[in-house]
Structures are given as structure tokens and as C-alpha cells.
Amino acid sequence: MLNESIYNISPILFQNFIISTYGKKVFKQRYGDVYYHFFEEYIKEEKSNIAKEKENQLIELRSLIEHAKKYSPYYASTLKNIEAIKIKNIDDIKKIPIIEKEELRQNIKSIYTTANRNTIKSFTGGTTGKSLEVYFTQNDFQKRMAYLDSFKYKCGINNIFLSKKATFSGRSFAKGFFQKNSNIYWRFNSAYNQRLYSTFDMQEENLRYYISDLNDYKPEIINGFVSAIYQLAKYVLDNNINLVFTPKAIFTTSETLLSFHRDAIQSAFSCKVFNQYASAEGAPFITECVAGKLHYRMDTGVIETNETGEMLVTSFTTYGTPLIRYNIGDRITFAKNDGYSLCECGSCHPIVESIDGRAVDYLFSPEKGKVSLSHLADVIKGIPNSIKEVQFIQNNIDEIEIHLNVDKKQYTAQDEKKIIESMTYRFGRNMFFTIKLADRIERTRGGKFVLIKNNLIKIIEKS
Ligand SMILES: [Zn+2]
């Protein structure tokens, strides 16, 4: 890791050097022989033959089960009655017990298969705020990078290393002694040709510096948190700012991409957004294709959904910390009747209708039941331009707090009325709404924007 105390007293240019040195080390871990081998494989591969895809998936599944039983004490015990060879088709996976998030967390030490040496750590936040540490083998990790880069290749990024990348993710590096009085909220990682923009300093008054630097840097790829890229897009649109560059592609991660996010981002940057799902735990990938469809990539794992749409994931790149029928706490909706029909893009991998966010991403109305993230997206779509950020918090069964960050010069009582009307339409006449104005909506410690805070769930969980 970076040496924080040296970093904090270094001038910004030297911080770039420190980041790049560290970047070089990470680069070697991520991009080695395994990466190059699989990248070549993945970009060549045809994904049109469903019989072949199913056969490969079965082989991968058996191999993961065998490995887990052999090297993970936890799975040696839970899978003792499962014989990999007797898994005759993917549906047989149902014979394997499901592992819940809390169970994984409590047993994590006996789930790991490898010693901590030569492994890559990854931390996940988790919905309850308790963090979880998983280990990837170097192989797993390089395969994952190869897969992601082959996905980007298919979206038109021929050379990921040479392309100028702008990344907005939850790391705080715009700090230290020399940061005071400076408007430079980014650092440069020369090892990966990547400018890292701090998402922790994106207060309204700083956004003009971000935009002017982007105009100067002219990135070919923009990566990162949905909320951060959306915030910039909205700023560009609301202020009629002229961007002097057009990226080749924008890849969003980590937060649920809703239609209003996509519309604003594509319109501000005149560039297509590609959505993807890949958790820090190492879940199988869901990626958006050139035809605009989300595919469940069955060559990276098995995704099942339970009756409430929660995903049970089995991932082929988790040889360090095997995930087998793990309830990851995120929800998706498969397209109806997909029947593995061929997509316009040529892939037979099943189509996912939507990635619906975390299982806890809903509010509750006694009259109308659960109101999910996608329904709230419709409310947000119609809200006036004077509102910059919105967050919904439910502490009581019959009351929702609506936190708003507004442009005070434009915001009127009429705007407030409009939001309450559309919320009443969604939640019914018996729900109370309280509007609270804030200068900025707080992000999580990891820098993520949470649109919905349902504190009722926490109350139920605790009781
Ligand atoms: Zn497709």
C-alpha cells in the first residue's frame, strides 16, 4: 500500500510519482501471462453456440466444486455429500446448499483456500456496513481483468493500455499538506495512463475545475461510479457547458445505473454508456453489449435468482475465496422468455432485463407495498431542474423524508409541490412526506451515493 505519511507531505507532482510507482506494482499483479493468454482467448471467442456454452459452464462448475472441496475447510464440510462428477447439468446446482452473506462473513477464514501470500485482497462494504475481505488468486484476478478488458474491446476500445482513461472511484488521494489552497482534485497514474479524479471533493463549487481539467486532458474512456459521472453530466447540461472532447465509451460501475442517469450522461458526453455488474466479492459478470442488451456471462459463472429476484452467484474466478450459490444481496430481473435466443450482437448468453440494485433498495408503503429503485427513478426523471440531488429516507412506516440539494436561486414552492405529487402517486394518500434541504447529500464512507435509505429494514433486522 501507499505510505500515507510520506504521501501526505509530498507536493502534488511527487504524489503523482508515488501513485505511478504503486500503479506499476499493481499493474504487474494484474497484467501478466495469464491475463494476456485469456484476453486473446476472450476476444476471439464466439458465443453463439448454446450447447457448447452450457457444456463449458458445466465443466467449469465441476472444477470449482472439486477445488473448493479439496482446499476450503468450509466447503469440504458443506459439500461433503456433493460429488462434482454427479452434477450432470446446471440445474443440478440446486442440490448444493445456498450460502447467505452473514454466513459467508462468519465463516470467511475457513472458506479461504489459499494462504495469504501471493493473493490479491478485495474489500466489500456490505449492506449492513460490516466489511468483508476476500482473497483472489493471481490467476483469478488476471482472468477477471482479461474478461473486463475483452468486454471493453468489444465496445470499441482496441488498446486499453494506451487509451487515456479518466477514473472516478471512491479513493481519496487529493489530500496532504499541498492540497490546501489547491484546486487540483486529480492525480495521474502513468503506469496505466489513467487520471484518477477524487469523488470526495465533487462539491458543486469545485465541479468547474473538474470540467476544465477534463477538457484539457480529453479522456478517451471514462470509468467509475454512476453517481459521480452523473453529477458531472448534470452540471454540464444545466450550465450549457461546451465539452471539447468526445470519449469513445463510458463504463459505469459500483452503483445501479438508472435510466435517468444514462440519459443525462449520454447526452452530456455525446457518448454511449456501457453498464456492467461485477462485485468486489468476484461475482460472475453481467455486461452490456453493443446492441444495448445486458448479458449474464455464463462463461464466468452461474447466476440463479430466488423468488424475490435476489441473485445466487457461483463464480468461476473465485478459487481464492469460492462463491458457490452465494446470496450476494443484489437483485436482477432476467428477460422473460429469453430461451437463449441469439442477441443482435451474436451472443447466446441469456439477457438480463435490468440490474435492480441491492435487495434493500426499496421503500415501503402500507397502501402500495414495496416501491423499488426503478419506480423512484421515474419520480426523479420528472423532477425540476432546480433540484441537483435527491435522497429518500424512510424511518417510519408512514413517513418518507426527501432530502434535496437545490439550486436556491431557482427552487420554488411549485417544485416542492411537484415532487410531493409524484411521490403521493407512488406511495398513496396516507403517506407523509417531509422535505429537508441540504447543501450536499452525504456519500458513504466508500464514496457511493445512496439514493434510498430504508431504515425500517434495519429495525426489522435488529428485532
Ligand atoms: Zn447482445
Residue 144 alpha carbon to ligand 1 centre in Å: 20
Q: Report CA(303)–ligand 1 centroid distance (Å).
A: 17
Shared domain for 200 and 308, answered yes or no, is yes
Report pLDDT for 462.
47
Give the other-Cβ count within 10 Å of 429's Cβ.
7
Note the pLDDT of residue 290: 92
CA 446 remoteness from chain centre: 12
pLDDT of residue 88: 93
Same domain, 326 and 457: no
Residue 394 maps to which CATH number?
3.30.300
What pLDDT does 379 receive? 84
- CA 142, 143, 144, 149: dihedral to nearest 10 degrees? 90
Distance of CA 181 from the midpoint of ligand 1 (Å): 48
10-residue mean pLDDT profile of the chain (463 residues): values are 85 94 91 95 90 96 96 95 92 95 91 76 63 88 95 94 93 88 94 94 93 98 95 95 97 90 96 91 94 94 92 96 94 79 90 87 90 84 85 95 92 92 93 93 86 80 48
Q: What pLDDT score was predicted for residue 253?
A: 87
CB 199 within 8 A of CB 225: yes
- Distance, CA 155 to ligand 1 centroid (Å)? 11
Count of domains for the chain:
2
Q: Are residues 114 and 254 in the same domain?
A: yes
Q: How far is the CA of 150 from the centre of ligand 1 (A)?
A: 14
Q: How far is the CA of 434 from the centre of ligand 1 (A)?
A: 43
How far, in Å, from the CA of 294 to the mean position of ligand 1?
7
* 344 and 367 part of one domain: no
Of 217, 229, 227, the residue nearest 268 (C-alpha): 229
Residue 303: CATH number of its domain: 3.40.50.12780
Pairing verdict, β 221-225 and 165-169: parallel
User: Cα dist. 174→177, 184, 197 in Å?
Assistant: 10, 7, 8
Domain closes at, from 303, 337, 358: 358
How far, in Å, is the centroid of ligand 1 from the Cα of 342?
A: 8
Instruction: Based on the fold, state whether residues 172 and 311 are members of the same structural domain.
Output: yes
Ligand 1 center–CA 197 separation, angstroms: 31
Q: Cell match 488521494: residue?
A: 173
Q: Ligand 1 center to residue 158 CA distance, Å?
A: 19
Domain boundary among 327, 358, 389: 358
248 Cα–ligand 1 center, Å? 19
What is the distance in A from the centroid of ligand 1 to the CA of 152? Answer: 14
- 377 CB-side CA count, 13 A: 15
Please check whether residues 247 and 101 belong to one and the same domain: yes
Residue 296 CA to ligand 1 center (angstroms) comes to 10
- Calculate how far, in angstroms, residue 369's C-alpha sits from the geometric centre of ligand 1: 34
How many angstroms separate the alpha carbon of residue 329 from the centre of ligand 1? 25
Same domain, 74 and 171: yes
Task: Say if residue 126 is in the same domain as residue 268.
Answer: yes
* End-to-end CA gap in the chain: 40
Distance 41 CA to ligand 1 centre (A): 19
CA of residue 110 to ligand 1 center, whole Å: 39
Question: How far away, in angstroms, is 435 Cα from ligand 1 center?
Answer: 42
In angstroms, what is the span from residue 353 Cα to ligand 1's centroid?
12
349 within 8 A of 327, measured Cβ to Cβ: no
Helix H, strand E, coil C: the string for the chain is: CCCHHHHHHCCHHHHHHHHHHHHHHHHHHHCCHHHHHHHHHHHHCCCCCHHHHHHHHHHHHHHHHHHHHHHCHHHHHHCCCCCHHHCCCHHHHHHCCCECHHHHHHCHHHHCCCCCCCEEEEEECCCCCCCEEEEEEHHHHHHHHHHHHHHHHHCCCCCCCCCCEEEEECCCCCCCHHHCCCCCCEEEEHHHCEEEEECCCCCHHHHHHHHHHHHHHCCCEEEEEHHHHHHHHHHHHHCCCCCCCCCCEEEEECCCCCHHHHHHHHHHHCCCEEEEECCCCCCCCEEECCCCCEEECCCCEEEEECCCCEEEEEECCCCCCCCCCEEEEEEEEECCCCCCCCCCCCCCCCEEEEEEEECCCEEEECCCEEEEHHHHHHHHHCCCCCEEEEEEEEEECCEEEEEEEECCCCCCHHHHHHHHHHHHHHHCCCCEEEEEECCCCCCCCCCCCCCEEEHHHHHHHHC
Residue 374 sits in which domain range?
362-462
Q: What is the rounded distance in angstroms from the CA atom of residue 390 to the CA atom of residue 459?
A: 23
Q: Which cell numbers in the block locate residue 455? A: 431504515
Q: What is the CA(261)–ligand 1 centre distance, in A? A: 21
153 alpha carbon – ligand 1 mean position (Å): 14
pLDDT value at residue 463: 45
What pLDDT is stored for residue 339 in this prediction? 59
Q: Which of 325, 358, 391 is the last residue of a domain?
A: 358
Residues 207 and 144 in one domain: yes
Neighbours of 392 (CB within 10 A): 21
Cell numbers given for 297: 456471462
Q: Do 290 and 374 lie in a common domain?
A: no
**Interval between CA 370 and ligand 1 midpoint (Å):** 31
Gap from CA of 292 to ligand 1 centroid (Å): 7
Q: What is the pLDDT of residue 338?
A: 56
Q: Same structural domain for residues 338 and 408? A: no
Residues 6+ apart with CB under 8 A from 228: 168, 169, 197, 199, 202, 447, 449
334 C-alpha to center of ligand 1: Å?
A: 14
C-alpha 348 to ligand 1 mean position (Å): 8
Tell me how far apart the alpha carbons of residues 389 and 207 are, in angstroms, rounded to a whole number.
14
Query: What is the distance in A from the centroid of ligand 1 to the CA of 393?
Result: 36
Is-contact 243 268, C-beta < 8 A? yes
Is residue 112 a contact partner of residue 85, using CB atoms and an 8 Å limit? no
Q: Are residues 133 and 160 in the same domain?
A: yes
What was the pLDDT predicted at 120?
84
